[in-house]
Amino acid sequence: MLLVKFHLYKFIICLWILLFSVEILADGSFIDKVYHPYVQPHEREFEWRGSYEKDSDNRLQDNAQKHQFAYGQSINENWFAEFYLVGEKNREQDFKLTAVELEALWQITEQGEYEADWGMLFEIEHERDKHLSEISTALLIERQWHKWVGTANLYLIYEWGSHIDNELETAMALQGRYRYSRALEPAIEFYSSDGSEGIGPVLLGNFRLGGKKQIKWEAGIIIGLDNETPDEIYKLLIELEF
């Protein structure tokens, strides 16, 4: 069994190295969330994520907001599924439902079993107004050094629709955080795709409510590093687990 897992990791690493050696074609803002490769058995959750963009360039949507509402639950010890409703608002339109998304997280290794913990994320999304669909998979890697934790999400994305050229894309999200306490973990995140690139500070934490109930939260600001990314993206996450 250990030999099978070892060869599986080698195959996954080689596949992602090959994929990231090709030209990145991604478009649109990729800045959102860094995922961790863990599943808690018998877990259910409600999640809200919001982002707000500020930019001085009139070509970009200043004051654009994006809100994601989700319900998820573990299927077994290694799989977690979640369903999202996505809404957006900007200066030209009021808040409206723009997309639906289904995602599944697969925890490949037990936490602490190897030097790094491994998982994979699978997502399928459909944007209603743009008649655009997207399917993606991400390799999730996390490693701890005492109180420091490093996380990488490496994405392969395929988009298709009636108004775009079908295209294969790659992207990545990185996070480094310090486990100061359960309630507060300062971090820095970096996002990169062809359509967006940014870096900035993030604060994370969680509060126990008794039993298995807890509230997780994240708040941060990502600074755009290129002309295609808004100057500032403010993001907030609140998650109730039970």
- The pLDDT score that the predictor gives to residue 212 is 84
Nearest to 114 by CA among 191, 216, 12: 12
Residue-range definition of the domain harbouring residue 77 = 2-241
CA–CA distance from 206 to each of 53, 106, 146, 241 (Å)?
A: 25, 23, 19, 10
Total domain count for the chain?
1
Residue ranges of the chain with pLDDT lower than 70?
A: 1-29, 58-62
Specify the pTM: 0.85
Structure tokens at 85: 């409703």
- The pLDDT score that the predictor gives to residue 13 is 52
Cβ 161 vs Cβ 133: under 8 Å: yes
CATH assignment at residue 49? 2.40.160.40
Structure tokens at 54: 């500020």
Q: How far apart are CA 82 and CA 216, in angstroms?
A: 16
